[in-house]
Structure 1
Amino acid sequence: MNLRSRSCNAQPRRPMSPRADAVRNRTKILDAAREQITLHGPDAGMDEIAAAAGVAVGTLYRHFPNKTDLVSAVLTEHLDRVADDIEAARERTAGGAKAMDEILGLVERVLEASATDHAVKAAARLLGAYPTDELVEDRTGTALAELIQAAQADGELHDDVTVQDFYLLINTAPTDQPPAVRSRWLTLVLPGLTTRGR
């Protein structure tokens, strides 16, 4: 086959649809925002975030009119990943895994993720940006409640432990401390929730 016939048979490359391009840009902006806020905290500028994302500043502002909206979106994305993790743990428990093992693994993973995103959370507190996605909150609360009930039915979690207790555990964790300190903190506080000894 010669080059002429090959080029005639080649399929033309379709341009990306405006919607697909917008989704791609939003993803790039969120990734860049998470990285820049982790590096620079609340002082990360919108211009710097746009440059890191490889988009024009105007494109960033079309997606997120201000930094508060952008930080809130980053946090909502983080919580969505947490909800996915909790739901996966619930499914494994339904498939025969021990609920308490799933809960302990979940707490450790959420702690590490929270430590990684500590700067993002600090920026959110300063900017007043808090996720308001009720669907994510409902997903998280429902799946975690089922895990707690399963662990209580197994006799491995105190009967008075609630979903709010786990939120309190995560929100008061020393996420700004080194991994060894976070691990020691878990060793000390978990017996207050579980019926297992240290």
Structure 2
Amino acid sequence: MKKHHAGIGIVLGGFLVLTLNAQDTASARKHPAVVVGTFDSRAVLMAYVGSDAFKDSMEELYADLARAKAAGDEKRIAELEAFGPELQQRIHRQGFGTAPVDDIIARIADELPAIAAEAGVEVIVSKWALAYRGPTAQFVDVTDLLTAEFDPSAETLQGIREIVAQEPVPLDQLGDH
């Protein structure tokens, strides 16, 4: 009798597994995969830093500093002089580590819907921000589409290729640069 119960248990267990697998497959068909565009934030940073937009923003900062000095505005001078090292540290962490580049992505926010449509994705996120990848999720690398928005030179593109070929430096190892 015990063998009979064990046999029934095995059959029922197998049936349960098959039923659950069929439900998972049916569920996957009912809920199409989300297509996620991912990008390497280091490449986006490098494209931006090599762009005319970045050069223009730096020129504006230097002009602001010159105006503050001409006006004798010590408070503004101190703010601008403190901003330089802060900016350098942020760029270092974004360019060599995985620090977010939200400030840069914001500069091309109006272009994101077109980039997403071109890539066939519904979401765009830094590849470093993915905590979990479900079995039905699909990923498309949109790094090149994002960097193209900053019209990178051949030299900048070469630098991008070199940096993305390497693993990022852990943020806690970058220190204050």
Query: TM-score range with shorter-chain normalisation?
Result: 0.3 to 0.5
More helix by share: 1
Structure with the bigger RCO (C-alpha within 8 Å, sep 6+) is: 2
More strand by share: 2
TM-score with structure 2 length normalisation?
Answer: 0.32
